[in-house]
Amino acid sequence: MKKKKKKFFQGALSTILIMCVIVMFLSFIFSLFGFEGYETYISNNTLESSLVTVNNIFSVNGFKYIFTNSITNFKLFEPLVLLIISLVGISIADTSGMLDPVFLPLRKIKGSFLSFIVILLGVCITFFGNFSYVILFPLIALLYKKIGRSPILGILTVFLGITLGYGTGIMFNYDSYVLGSLTQASAIVEVDKDYTFSLVSTEYIMVISTFIISIILTHLVDKKISVYFKKHEVVNSDNKFSYPVFVLFGVLLLILVYMIIPGLPFSGLLLDSGSVRYIDKLFGSNSPFANSFVCIYSLILSICGLFYGYLNGIRTSDVYTKGISKTFDGLGYLFVLMFFASQLQGLIEWTNVGTILGSRMIDFMSNLQLSGAFLIVIFFIIIVIMSILIPSTSTKWILASPVVVPLFMRSNITPDFTQFVFQVADSVGKGLTPVFAYFIVMIGFMQKYVGEEDRSVNMVDTLRMTLPVTLIIGLVWIAIVVLWFISGLPIGINGFSTL
C-alpha cells in the first residue's frame, strides 16, 4: 500500500492538484496577513507604482471564479488546439509512408550526433516561438521510434533543446522584439532618452552561445538521460523517396514565402497590412501568418502526404482516418493534464500570488546596492525563481523591466545585455517549473509511448532526469554572461555589455 501511495503522489496530475492547493492556501495566508506588493509600470513617460493585493480564493469572489472560469481557462490554454492541429498533419504524412524514406536513413547516424542535431534544431526553431514545441514533439518522437531509439528520449531531448535555448538562437524571435520595446521604454523613461533597442545588438553572443549550449547539452543528454532508455528494433520499410513529392513540397514552400513577402504583385497575403514594421506584419497579434502558422504547417504536410500516398496506391480516405485515430491513441491523459494545468495557471493569475512574490523579489534585488557581475548573477537567480510561478516571459519582463533596466544602466550595464541575461535566465527557469504549459504537454505526450519502455514517465522521475541537466546548463549560462561581461567583447552589431 505504501508503494502505491508513493507512486500516486509522483504522478503529474497529483502534482498539479497539489500545486493548485498550495496556491489556494498561499492566497488565503497572504490575504490574512495583508501581504502585498507594488508593481512598477510606465505611464505618460514616467515610472509609476500601483499596489497589488492578493485575491483570496477562499472568498465569495474566489468560489465564483472557480465555478465560472474553469471552461474558459481550458479554452484559452494555448497548446491544446495547436497540438491537435499539428498531430493531424503529421499523422497523414506518416500514414502515407512519406516520412519513412526521410527518417530511416538517420538510423546510421551516431546517437550523440543525432542528439546534437535535435538540440540545435530545437534552439534554432525558437525563432517561431512556442510553435516549436507542438511541431517538434510529435515529429521527433516519430523520428526516434522509426530509427530504433526511445520516443520518450526524443521528446525529452527536444524539450531541453527548445527550452534551455529559448533565450538565444541563430536569429532573434518575436519575443525578443516584444521584450525590446519594453526595454527601450524603460531605458528612455529614467536614464537615456536617446536609447534605441536593436534586434541585432546581441547577435554575436547569441550565435556563439547557441553552439556552446548545444554541445554541452548534447553531452549531458547522452550521459545523464539516454542511459535510462533502451534501444528498439528498427522496422524496415519499402517506401521509396519520391521526387515529385519533393518538388510539390518545394512549390508549396515557395508559395508560402511569396505570401509573406511585401511589395510584390498579389504577395503579402499572410501579413498584417495594418502594421508598420515587417516583424509586426509577420508575427504580430493580428498577423494571418502568426495566427495560422500551425495550420499552414499541418496543411503542407497533409497535402504532401496525400500526394505521396496517391502515388503509392493509397486511394481511400479510410486509411487516413484510421491513421489519424491511431495517432491520437494514448493521448487522453494529456488532455486531462491540460485541463488541470489550465486551472493552475488561472489560479496563479487570478490570485496575484505570482505577481506579488515576483515584485517583492525585484524590490529586494534593487535594494542590495550591487553592481557588475554580482548584480548579473543575483538577477539571473531571481528570474529563475520567479519563473516557478510565472513562466510567461512577457509577464515577467513587464514586471521587472521598469525597475531592472534603469538599475543596470546606472551600474554601467547596457539594456541590450540586460535583456539577454533576462531571456536566458527565463529559459532556465522554464526548464525547472512544472507550471510551464509545455512541460505539462511533454509529460502527457510521453505517456503515449510509456508502454514501449521499462522507464516510467511520472512527474518525479522526469524531474529527476531533467533537473540536473537544467541546473548545469544554468551554471553554464551564468559563466557565459559573466565572462562575456568581464571581457568587454561586443555582444552584437553595435552592441556591448557595458555603456
**259-306: pLDDT as tens digits:** 999 988 888 899 998 888 888 899 888 899 998 999 999 999 999 999
Q: What is the mean pLDDT of the chain?
A: 89
User: Would you call 46 helix, strand, or coil by DSSP?
Assistant: strand
CA 145 to chain CA mean position, Å: 23
Out of 181-185, 310-314, 328-332, 370-374, which region has the weakest mean confidence (pLDDT)?
328-332
* Cβ atoms within 10 Å, residue 482: 18
Residue 455 is predicted with a pLDDT of 58
- Measured distance CA(323)–CA(379) in Å, rounded: 49
More confident residue, 177 or 380: 380
Would you state the cell numbers that stand for residue 117, as one nine-digit string?
542535431
Residues paired with residue 495 on neighbouring β-strands, in sequence order: 492
Share of the chain above pLDDT 70, in %: 97
- Residue 261's pLDDT is what? 93
The model's confidence at residue 132, banded by pLDDT at 50, 70 and 90, is very high
Give the position of cell 474558459: 72
pLDDT for residue 450 is more than 90: no
- Global pTM value: 0.92
For the chain, the straight-line distance linking the first and the last C-alpha, in angstroms and rounded, comes to: 62
Confidence band of 252 (pLDDT split at 50, 70, 90): very high
Distance CA 286, CA 289 (A): 9
**Does residue 111 have a pLDDT over 80?**
yes
pLDDT of residue 370: 87
Quick: pLDDT tens for 298-329. 999 999 999 999 998 887 888 888 888 888 88
Distance CA 160, CA 223 (A): 14
